[in-house]
Copies of this chain bind each other. A is one copy, B any other.
Amino acid sequence: MKSYRKELWFNTAERISFVNITQDVQTAVKESGIKEGLCLVNAMHITASVFINDNESGLHQDYKEWLEELAPHEPISHYRHNLTGEDNGDAHLKRQIMGREVVIAITDGKLDFGPWEQIFYGEFDGRRRKRVLIKIIGE
Contacts and interface: CB of A to CB of B under 8 A. Distances in A.
Interface of A: 1, 3, 5, 36-38, 40, 42-46, 51-54, 56, 58-59, 61-63, 66, 70-71, 79-84, 89, 92-93, 95-105, 107, 112-117, 131, 133, 135, 137-139
A139 B4 CA distance: 12
Contacts of A70: 70
Contact of A96 (B51, B83, B113): B51
Contacts of A131: 114
Chain A contact residues: over half helix, strand or loop, or mixed? mixed
Contact of A92 (B36, B40, B59, B95): B59
Contacts of A46: 52-54, 114, 116-117
Contacts of A5: 105, 107, 112
A89 B71 contact: no
A46 to B, nearest CB: 5
